Structure 1
Amino acid sequence: MISSNWSRSILGIKFIPRRYQHGYIILVPEIGEESDAKKPLVKSDGLPEFNNVTIENCRAAVAKESLEFEAGVKSIEKDLQDKPPKDIFKQVFNPLEVLGAPLDLIWGLSKTLYLGNSSLMPTSNYISIHERARQARASKYNNKTIYNAVRDALQTKTDKTVEETRILQKFLIEGKLNGLELEDKNFTIFAEYMATLSKEKSSFKLKNEISTKRFSHVIGDKAIVNDFPDYVLKSASLNPHLPEKGPWKLTLQPHIYRAVLECCPERKIRWNFWQAMVNRGYHHGDRELSTSLTVEEIRFARRDIAKLLGFENFAEMSMQTKMASSVSEVKNVINTLLEEAYPAQENEVKELYEFAASRGFEHEQLELWDVDYWKKQQQKFLYVHSDDDVKAYFPLKSVMNGLFEFCEKMFNIKIKERPKTTVWHKDVKFYDIFEDYSSAPIAGFYFDPYARDQQKIDSSGWMVAIQNKSEICSKIPLGALIFNFDPPTSGRDSCLTFKETKNLFKKFGHNLQHLLTRVKYSEVAGLSNVEWDAVDVCGNVFGHWLENKTVVDKISSHYETGESLPNEMFESLMQSEKQLAGVDLCHEMYLASLDLELHSSKDFWADIVKKLWPNYRCFKLHSNDVHTCSFTRIFVEEWAAAYYSHLWSRMIAADIYSAFYEVRDNEQKTLEIGKRFRNSFLSLGGSVHPGQVFREFRGRDPSPKALLRSLGLKRK
């Protein structure tokens, strides 16, 4: 998604600071040929003209719109200096909506093309477009004059809607976290800290990339890779014409590494891959690739930035853009979950060891490189289904028809395919969304379902917010859902695994939050301005609907017989979804706690790991396990002091779904709650704090009990 979450410049995105009176140093990409720039990218009906979307005209259009946006921000700044605003929304925010709409649309088109057909939009080209658009868009949050006007408007006792107040608060927090409250001397120091942070993050990323690429293991014995998925063997084969023959070069790429740990029967090979993965960034024989000191430099820089901005530490600063009110609140939730999850983890590991021992495992205990393999073996033994068995019941066409029917009834909408729209591939379809009482669509989305060799990035799926809703600009929201499902084969439609079906539901829920928003300003529409730990809530709620047999019956239809998923297979699926839930939850809570502690404590990272590990994990911490040194999600990506957000979103979603579960046998009450869910979480976007939205929906503060129940971990 390309929504505008708060303060990404500080909490995760590269920042190129200069004295705030003069804005940003702008790096302008090369502008394409004028003829390319003049090609229309939007048709008269408001939909993108994908036939004309190319690298050249995307770059040209982004360069043009970025310059115009920055010039517009400067013009607003001059107007504010000449004449203090009587109505800040008419003088500042309405013009910003008009200025930003074309830039955001071109940015969204570029990302859609990149994810939908990377051969037409290679990574290097998209990154330059993304960086240019991001820098331009950030200029409105880094303007001292606009910031002062926003601060004054918040302090002035005038009538403001909840949405307007939220927008003002957003700009105020953005400005504060970007240093706009600092005097010249401290702002210069702030800029130096930011430059150091950017440099160290780049170093961390490069070293980990080199370490990851250096490791490989060639296997020639077909028996070792017998259970590996076909797509893994195809991507790893040294003979692309005979991928089933081998040999295979296995690497630490996520999908290959995961297959090795789950499917490789040779324990020594699993151990070799595991130790290579957890030892990245801590090379005894190659100090140049060590990230141990880089980790500390990143932590020091973030700590200095937080202190300069008036916060106790970086974790406290991170909470300014979260639904959770404080670090202590997050820790309280984790501790509550841990009370149930840790004993469950111990019992699960004990039972898994007994299962492995009964099948020839001769070692004293299970290690981390054993768990995934024996989990898969146990799953085959315990449950009455295989992935192929289940897959036959979920043809993509049936799943989509059932999903549409479910959403139409639950949220009082109509979803209709619009033929003859221009798309980036013949398999892509476009759908309009209508209200029952509307003659014109209120939103629309593209659906690109199938994997295409050399065209799509390897991923479980994407939701792209192409265009945000804006009443000021008379724009309806547009989105895109892009997946890598198996394409149809002769005589058989594309069929989904249960995991793929669940992921489709999650992405569709995410998509509806973008599409069904009812707010006025794009600044807080859909997923824009939603706190990071609440961004995945709606998607996770939709994932829970697959725990409902009525919904599963609606979407399942055996590709040969037309039968819905049998009860026995459904119950087996529900049980397999909970397998080793305690182990998985403890691992996730450990990483979340590690992240928060790294960004609030001054202790050396290795000492923090040693302190936390036994509280969460019932496995031995090995001396060569230095996973912190390759924790790129918090040191390079946007999840510093925010890794807990995944867990928090799951907790909130489980609690929301429990409202439906409580009335599951009463269709009328279910529809009433569905209406309430649409009018709150799906409609309000980022215009209201999610804590308030939850309290209005549920009538109380959130509780972790529903998450524990959904995982089968609640003992009481």
Structure 2
Amino acid sequence: MALSFFRSNVIARNVKRQLYQNKRNAGYVVLIPEIGEDAENTLLSDNGLPEFNDISIEKCIATISKQSLEYENGVKQIEQTSANCKNAFEEVFKPLEKLDSQLELTWGLAKTLYLGNSSLMPTKSYIQIHERAHKARSTKFNSIPIFQAAITEKNRLKKLTDEEQRLLDKYILEGKLNGLDVKGMKRDRLSNILSGLQKERQMFRDKVNIANKVFTSTIKDGSVMREFPDTLVHSMAMGADPNKGPWKVTLQPHIYEPFMQYCPNRQLRWNAWQAHVQRCSSYVNKEIETASNLENVRSLRREQAIILGYETYADMSMETKMAGSVENVNNVLDSLLESARSMQDVELELLHRYAQERGFDDKLEHWDIPYWQRKQKWSLYGFDEDKIREYFPLPKVINSLFNLCSTLFNIQIVERAGINTWHKDVKFYDVFDESGNTPIANFYFDPYARQDQKIRIYDDAGWHIAMRNKCKSSETTPLSALIFNFQAPSDGKQSLLSFNEVSILFQRFGHSLRHLLTKANYSEVAGLSNVEWDAAEVCGQVMTHWLYDPHTITALSGHYITDETLPDDIIKNLQNIRGHMSGYNLCKELYLSKLDLEFHTKTAFWRDIVRELWPKYHALPFDKYDSHPLSFTKIVSEEWGSAYYCRLWSRMIAADIYSAFEEARKGDQDIIAVGKRYRDTFLAVGGSCHPSEVFRRFRGRDPSPHALLKNLGLPKKVIEE
């Protein structure tokens, strides 16, 4: 899986690979250390799993270097036979699959260590390994002979399976988007563009990272911290005793976002907010201003798309999306906005009234909303994330999650002892079909935060790493790692999860099921591989919907002392909580999605685009100093240009899928039958069939946004139209 190798949250983004990024000339040289004869086998134990007890950075680098060289040489050998091959599947693509298997596992192992124990795999070392593996694996998608072999095989007059068709289409599209059919001066220009893009994106990323560290604010008054959760107090503490202070406010996501929700001091909130939205602007520090980098990235992407035969970069992006066209995305975004925008006005009026009743006598501003939004949610629904933790001890939640999967998908998940791991807290599980005695897949589970060993990102508290794909020709089964940052057991207490953390656990595990339960034969299209970006998060999102089913939430909750289930009033309120200020929250997502698409379809200056879009999506006026696009790393320096809408699209598809389970329950039908159909389509097929077709096989029709709107409690009249 091609992943951005400079930013941790992209590395961890659960195998979303942007096909249209450059795979040919990365512009760097990785020095290869001396390689011993047995380098290839030093990382694996006799059972074929990683030998974590005996892994060192040097061994990882030596092994990946040796495997990368062998991979590149193997691709060259396949190229020599591809021109005259009579069956590309047997002579080209199956040999490529076998080449992938060893490199894939070593690379996955390095990713797992990087996210699971950075003291064993520091960032600098992982970047070196990632770059070398990425460079090697990209050779097959930058091979003109292999590209031509795929085209020739597709043009043969013979019937192909869905999987074979998708495999050929993948190699052809990869080749096209990498410019393999571009000739002469245009090819040279494309190479220069891609090199320039890499530099501009790196500069943008570096400047934002600096800006996040430049701003700090110190709190000495303990009364300000009174409502803060313990985890946040500890994260902000500057002294030895977290409860005595002082405490430091920063713009790091895991500090800034909860700080804005819990800080009662309006001046402190404003100070942090204005620093956050003005990052990398000329208002703050011209040395780390990113406006020129943003415009250069937009310009280079536009030229890249035109050379490759597309009108805009957004049009090029749609080649790898379920939506298929910018027009289709805009239609969905506009239909959601029609419902959400009017609701936002009502929500903000109610929030302002709520704040006034509690002594707030100012006009509600951007920096006030997170704080009063949290307070209002507690007042309306008695919802306190920290208090609710007591009802979600991790062992019970995990048990219930596995039981739910067993019921719905006819599998058994069994812990296996004695397996070598990177930390004593890590557990290893086998996944069995109920009809078989041999595991069909395996996964590691690493639940707890470890200070200075794990990367922390506030809105992305867990990762799924596909360490090994299913592949028939190399006879490999899926292997995954699930890594989280839940609080560890302490003072005799089990690990207690907030409702949000339970949701993250369900989401990541649902995502992993697509990898673990795949039935595809080719690893290149198995599981999460080759799934269109806007459908990649669907299975994870489907799983989170079960948390709003009263029977499910009752089964997985139990007070860590009394084992009492979550109180009925909170269970009944969960749906209301999900819909709390949903119009406001949805409008924010719609705005950023639209902003991204506009940046990559229009040539107007970035601030002009912002000024035009803002009032259509926001009830509160635009602050003239607000420069949020200048730190919008996801679309500029990460892999989400013209793809920010993808998560929202996945949520829409997932809500529609889950509504099939709800319909079965209301109609007194067999939910198990729906679970089987879901497993046989979305979980089994993965990237070996286009997600639009997979959806039709499951649902019997095309997708609709109605279920998402209904779940969010948005106006029914829009749903019924």
Q: Quick one: structure 1 residues 35 and 7, their matched pair in 2 at CA, closer, same or farther if it must change by over 3 Å?
A: closer
Measure the CA separation in 2 of the matches of 1:481 and 1:38.
25
Say whether 1:150 aligns with 2:158: no
Q: Quick one: structure 1 residues 2 and 139, their matched pair in 2 at CA, closer, same or farther if it must change by over 3 Å?
A: closer
Equivalent residue for 1:357? 356
Say whether 1:258 aligns with 2:262: no
* Gapped regions of structure 1 (runs ≥ 5): 18-23
Equivalent residue for 1:8? 18
> Which consecutive segments of 4 or more residues in structure 1 shift more than 4 A?
1-7, 665-668
Tell me the CA shift for residue 715 of structure 1. 2.3
TM-score (norm 1): 0.96
Measure the CA separation in 1 of the matches of 2:35 and 2:195.
34
Tell me the CA shift for residue 573 of structure 1. 2.9
Equivalent AA in structure 1 for residue 704 of structure 2? S
Say whether 1:669 aligns with 2:670: yes
Q: Is the partner of 1:343 in helix, strand or coil?
A: helix
Tell me the CA shift for residue 35 of structure 1. 8.6
Equivalent residue for 1:496? 497
Deviation readout 1:314-345 (Å, 9 max, x if unpaired): 00000000000110101100111111101111
Tell me the CA shift for residue 395 of structure 1. 1.1
**Superposition pairs of residues 219-258 of structure 1, within 5 angstroms:** 219-239=219-239, 241-258=240-257
- Tell me, yes or no, if the aligned pair for 1:6 and 1:170 is still in contact at 8 Å: no
- Tell me, yes or no, if the aligned pair for 2:108 and 2:465 is still in contact at 8 Å: yes
Measure the CA separation in 2 of the matches of 1:236 and 1:389.
21
Measure the CA separation in 2 of the matches of 1:224 and 1:147.
62
Q: Quick one: structure 1 residues 380 and 143, their matched pair in 2 at CA, closer, same or farther if it must change by over 3 Å?
A: same
Measure the CA separation in 2 of the matches of 1:580 and 1:452.
34
Measure the CA separation in 2 of the matches of 1:35 and 1:267.
64
Equivalent AA in structure 2 for residue 218 of structure 1? T
Equivalent residue for 1:507? 508
Tell me the CA shift for residue 30 of structure 1. 3.6
Measure the CA separation in 1 of the matches of 2:622 and 2:274.
12
Tell me the CA shift for residue 33 of structure 1. 6.6
Measure the CA separation in 2 of the matches of 1:236 and 1:529.
41
* 515-524 or 602-611, which deviates more: 602-611
Tell me the CA shift for residue 238 of structure 1. 2.0
Tell me the CA shift for residue 421 of structure 1. 0.6
Measure the CA separation in 2 of the matches of 1:38 and 1:689.
36
Measure the CA separation in 2 of the matches of 1:71 and 1:685.
30
Tell me the CA shift for residue 232 of structure 1. 2.5
TM-score (norm 2): 0.95
**Superposition pairs of residues 70-469 of structure 1, within 5 angstroms:** 70-81=72-83, 84-239=84-239, 241-284=240-283, 286-363=285-362, 365-459=363-457, 460-469=461-470
* 431-440 or 471-480, which deviates more: 431-440
Q: Quick one: structure 1 residues 73 and 551, their matched pair in 2 at CA, closer, same or farther if it must change by over 3 Å?
A: same
Equivalent AA in structure 2 for residue 293 of structure 1? S
Q: Is the partner of 1:686 in helix, strand or coil?
A: helix
Equivalent AA in structure 1 for residue 39 of structure 2? A
Q: Quick one: structure 1 residues 624 and 15, their matched pair in 2 at CA, closer, same or farther if it must change by over 3 Å?
A: farther
Matched pairs, number = 704
Say whether 1:540 aligns with 2:550: no
**Superposition pairs of residues 31-70 of structure 1, within 5 angstroms:** 31=33, 34=36, 37=39, 40-70=42-72
Q: Is the partner of 2:529 in helix, strand or coil?
A: coil
- Tell me, yes or no, if the aligned pair for 2:16 and 2:536 is still in contact at 8 Å: no
Q: Quick one: structure 1 residues 464 and 688, their matched pair in 2 at CA, closer, same or farther if it must change by over 3 Å?
A: same
- Tell me, yes or no, if the aligned pair for 2:665 and 2:671 is still in contact at 8 Å: yes
Q: Is the partner of 2:157 in helix, strand or coil?
A: coil
- Tell me, yes or no, if the aligned pair for 1:141 and 1:147 is still in contact at 8 Å: yes
- Tell me, yes or no, if the aligned pair for 1:36 and 1:56 is still in contact at 8 Å: no
Measure the CA separation in 1 of the matches of 2:667 and 2:423.
43
Tell me the CA shift for residue 187 of structure 1. 0.6
Deviation readout 1:449-493 (Å, 9 max, x if unpaired): 111122111141111111000011000000011111111123321
Measure the CA separation in 2 of the matches of 1:523 and 1:551.
35
Equivalent AA in structure 2 for residue 211 of structure 1? A
Measure the CA separation in 2 of the matches of 1:286 and 1:357.
37
Measure the CA separation in 1 of the matches of 2:86 and 2:635.
43
Q: Quick one: structure 1 residues 226 and 626, their matched pair in 2 at CA, closer, same or farther if it must change by over 3 Å?
A: same
Measure the CA separation in 1 of the matches of 2:28 and 2:261.
47
- Tell me, yes or no, if the aligned pair for 2:2 and 2:18 is still in contact at 8 Å: no
Q: Quick one: structure 1 residues 400 and 666, their matched pair in 2 at CA, closer, same or farther if it must change by over 3 Å?
A: farther
- Tell me, yes or no, if the aligned pair for 1:2 and 1:465 is still in contact at 8 Å: no
Equivalent residue for 1:470? 471
- Tell me, yes or no, if the aligned pair for 1:394 and 1:556 is still in contact at 8 Å: yes
Give the superposed CA RMSD.
Answer: 1.7
Deviation readout 1:658-677 (Å, 9 max, x if unpaired): 01111224675211110000
Measure the CA separation in 2 of the matches of 1:136 and 1:191.
18
Say whether 1:525 aligns with 2:526: yes
- Tell me, yes or no, if the aligned pair for 2:354 and 2:376 is still in contact at 8 Å: yes
Q: Is the partner of 1:195 in helix, strand or coil?
A: helix
